Structure 1
Amino acid sequence: MRKKVRFTNVNNSTFYVTVRKRVDAYFTDNNISIHANRAMWFKTLFFLTGLIALYLMILLGGFNAGVTLLLCAILGAFGAFVGFNVCHDAIHKSYSANSTINKFFSFVFNLIGASPYVWNICHNIVHHTYTNIAGHDEDIDVAPGLIRFSETETVNKVQSYQHYYAFVLYSFAMLSWVFRKDYKKFFQKKIGEHVSSHPRIEYFKLFFYKGIYYFLFIALPLLMMNITWWQFVLGFLVMQFSQGLVLGLVFQLAHVVEGTSFPLPDEKGNIEEAWAIHQLQTTANFGVDCKVTGFLCGGLNRQIEHHLFPKVCHIHYPAIGEIVRQTAADFNLNYIESPTFGAALVSHYKTLKRLGKETYNETPYINRPEQYMNRPAMAFAKK
């Protein structure tokens, strides 16, 4: 029977106490709300308007096949961006202090193909607590037998090529989410450590809102557009592959890169580390100085700040990021960061290549390459 995971090193909890005090002081001293500001509302308007406009252009525009396919690809990307920039904060309840606003923008998640209720369990409850712990964090259980993210899995011959085909598989992420993932997770007895027990209304919502999505993106285009069935299938797949690739890359670059760890609990289920330091060891930032990356990724390129302060709206991550980085240095803790999206992509590629060829090793915290071990604080931070 799998043991419940506990983070036992309370002696290292001083870091989290300190960084929380400093971040709280930043908001208090500057009289700033931790929730959305005008810039956040602008981003919300931009991405939601873009999503609706692209959808209507495809549905009603009457463009030729080439332009329509391009619009489908952009629509897919915008679906991911709406998820990153709007729904993600709302489901974390960090968008607003008003629960109605959070619920409204959480509902939008249904319209891009995913259940906010299931996501809350898988992401907010499970992933944020048991980050990168195999058997507990199901976010690293991407394609069992095909992609290996943890040394707890035995390597097979196919996985030695995973650094080539993994990116193709990421493109299927949204297609799986729309037709399989939400149903599978909803009806599992347990998701990680979370025992599933759903209110009756959630059974109705799952199928009802999925039905709305299928109507908007399958039935309505077939009814209104002058296209053949195979043209529809091609456009639908292009949209799903685009959205899936964007989602897959952004999520994996935050946790599966050089320097991040995949710790194993001992036989009693203990992780001999404080929870906040565990987050530093399993999470990475990328491209934090690029305004375009920050604008599109909705703070998910600043996963360290997000995992430590999920109740703070992502629009504030650049400011509190400097506080978190400095506090990590004060406590001689590594702050893992790639300078650009491209650098993070290369790091992910190298990690996939290494994991596809390594043999199983029972040592905890084994996903830290030797060259990254025992490095001083700020070893991965931007100089």
Structure 2
Amino acid sequence: MSVPKFAASRSFHTELKSRINAYFEEAGKSQTGNSGLFVKALILTTAFVLVYLHLVFFTPNAFLGILECILLGGIGAAIGFNVMHDGAHGSFSKSKWLNQFAAFTLNVLGGNSFMWNMKHNLIHHMYTNVDGVDDDLDVQPWMRMSSTQPRRKLHRFQHLYFWFLYALLYIAWIFFMDYQKYFKGKIGAMPIKKMTATDQSVFWGFKVIHLLLFMALPIYTVGFVSWLVGFVIFAAVAGFTLSLVFQLAHTVEHAAFPMPDEITNKLEDEWAIHQIKTTANFATHNKVISWLVGGLNFQVEHHLFPKISHVHYPAISKIIKQMCEEFDITYNEYPKMRYAVASHVSHLRELGRK
């Protein structure tokens, strides 16, 4: 499908940006990360390196090794949420090179920052939940994420087997999906911009580095079977954690899945209102969850202001909620994470049955 257009009216977004900017001016705060975020990044990256080194060079017994692989997967996902994600959006720091350095953690972990920028920043954040454009909805033929997608017999059970598929995300991402995008030159139906020589070097160079760090070296030090078991556990934990957090933001019962008009190719709402209707928050009062997932439980705030660091989301959420009340716009939020998970399961069950 061709790229849809949003409604022309921008009164809501203009007023919202004005109030958010006024908040930061009055508070005298930068919109990027603060010392707390930098300390968190240091804690997470140091913990990841130490656990990795212990697994690879100081081979623990089987029980401790499994626990450490689980921990490594969780820390890896947390680095993605807290460090890479803010860095890729340019909100980690005022420094451009520090943002790039934070975003490059994805390359070390096996992904590719160029492909992520195209898929996530440019496509998903613009056309959230628009089937045929937002590649995050494309889990076909295995899952049906929107009512506009074809239903298959196996989808009747997708609310039961999605746990297994989500655990495969990390492996599929680093060993298949990045290469698929690279060789096709497309993300779904959307063409990607031409990669420069530097982009090419980063893509292939870090893919090799990842294979050396996460395959060749561990196989050499602990043996193939031990590596395989450990890597699968690590990848499954990271993949499932990443998948679940991102899915709870958009594929739940109360999120909208708008489609453009068949004749005009226009969406019903202006961009900002579209983001609110297609997004949901969860467990925003749980500080532990907020810390671990890098504020991605404040997805409404993130989608409206992706260049503002997640450390500011609790504060600006009050402004956004007030604006939504004034403009009679539903602000989707689940008070507990388990409620969001239940809503996601119900959404999948409903789509699988009709």
Could you tell me the TM-score, scaled by structure 1's length?
0.90
Structure 1 distance, partners of 2:283, 2:58, is: 36
Q: CA offset at residue 187 of structure 1?
A: 2.6
Q: Which residue is 2:142 aligned to?
A: 146
Summarize deviations over 1:332-365 as a string: whole Å, max 9, x none. Answer: 100000111111100100000001112xxxxxxx
Q: Which residue is 1:372 aligned to?
A: none
Specify the SS of the correspondent of 2:297: coil
Q: Which moved more, 1:237-246 or 1:267-276?
A: 267-276
Structure 1 distance, partners of 2:2, 2:88, is: 29
Specify the SS of the correspondent of 1:125: helix
Amino acid at match of 1:50: A
Structure 1 distance, partners of 2:87, 2:198, is: 20
Structure 2 distance, partners of 1:58, 1:205, is: 27
Summarize deviations over 1:175-203 as a string: whole Å, max 9, x none. Answer: 00110111112233333544432213322
Amino acid at match of 1:162: Q
Q: Kindly report which structure 2 residues correspond to 1:258-273, keeping only aligned pairs within 5 A, or say none.
A: 258-267=253-262, 268-273=264-269
The answer to whether the 8 A contact 1:91-1:120 is kept is: yes
Structure 1 distance, partners of 2:198, 2:31, is: 31
Q: 1:236 aligns with which of 223, 227, 231?
A: 231
Structure 2 distance, partners of 1:103, 1:201, is: 14
Q: 1:254 aligns with which of 246, 249, 252?
A: 249
Q: Which residue is 1:164 aligned to?
A: 160
Could you tell me the TM-score, scaled by structure 2's length?
0.97
Structure 2 distance, partners of 1:130, 1:312, is: 19
Q: Kindly report which structure 2 residues correspond to 1:189-228, keeping only aligned pairs within 5 A, or say none.
A: 189-191=185-187, 192-225=189-222, 228=223
Q: Which residue is 2:339 aligned to?
A: 343
Q: CA offset at residue 61 of structure 1?
A: 2.5
Amino acid at match of 2:236: F
Amino acid at match of 1:307: H
Q: Which moved more, 1:101-110 or 1:173-182?
A: 101-110
The answer to whether the 8 A contact 1:289-1:339 is kept is: yes
Q: Does 1:292 align with 2:291?
A: no
Q: Which residue is 1:122 aligned to?
A: 119
Q: Which residue is 2:276 aligned to?
A: 280
Q: CA offset at residue 98 of structure 1?
A: 1.0
Specify the SS of the correspondent of 1:96: coil
Q: Does 1:56 align with 2:38?
A: no
The answer to whether the 8 A contact 1:15-1:328 is kept is: no
Amino acid at match of 2:123: V
Q: Does 1:5 align with 2:4?
A: yes
Q: Kindly report which structure 2 residues correspond to 1:306-345, keeping only aligned pairs within 5 A, or say none.
A: 306-345=302-341
Q: CA offset at residue 60 of structure 1?
A: 2.3
Structure 1 distance, partners of 2:30, 2:318, is: 18
Amino acid at match of 1:133: V
Q: Which residue is 2:134 aligned to?
A: 137
Q: Structure 1 unaligned runs (5+)?
A: 359-383
Q: 1:70 aligns with which of 46, 67, 70?
A: 67
The answer to whether the 8 A contact 1:186-1:196 is kept is: no
Structure 2 distance, partners of 1:108, 1:260, is: 31
Structure 1 distance, partners of 2:152, 2:318, is: 42
Summarize deviations over 1:25-50 as a string: whole Å, max 9, x none. Answer: 11000110001111111211111111
Structure 2 distance, partners of 1:56, 1:189, is: 36
The answer to whether the 8 A contact 1:126-1:194 is kept is: no
In proportion to residue count, which structure has more helix? 2
Summarize deviations over 1:144-198 as a string: whole Å, max 9, x none. Answer: 1111001111211100000000111000000001101111122333335444322
Summarize deviations over 1:9-30 as a string: whole Å, max 9, x none. Answer: x33x221111111110110001
Structure 2 distance, partners of 1:302, 1:243, is: 20
Identity of aligned residues (%): 38
Amino acid at match of 1:87: M
Structure 1 distance, partners of 2:152, 2:332, is: 29
The answer to whether the 8 A contact 2:118-2:192 is kept is: no
Structure 1 distance, partners of 2:54, 2:317, is: 39
Summarize deviations over 1:92-128 as a string: whole Å, max 9, x none. Answer: 1111121111111111111122101110000000000
Specify the SS of the correspondent of 1:198: coil
Specify the SS of the correspondent of 1:102: helix
Amino acid at match of 1:97: K
The answer to whether the 8 A contact 2:88-2:100 is kept is: yes
Figure out how many residues of one structure are paired with residues of the other and give that number: 352
Amino acid at match of 2:101: F
Q: CA offset at residue 308 of structure 1?
A: 0.3
Structure 2 distance, partners of 1:161, 1:321, is: 36
Q: Does 1:97 align with 2:98?
A: no
Q: CA offset at residue 82 of structure 1?
A: 0.1
Q: Structure 2 unaligned runs (5+)?
A: none
Amino acid at match of 1:333: I
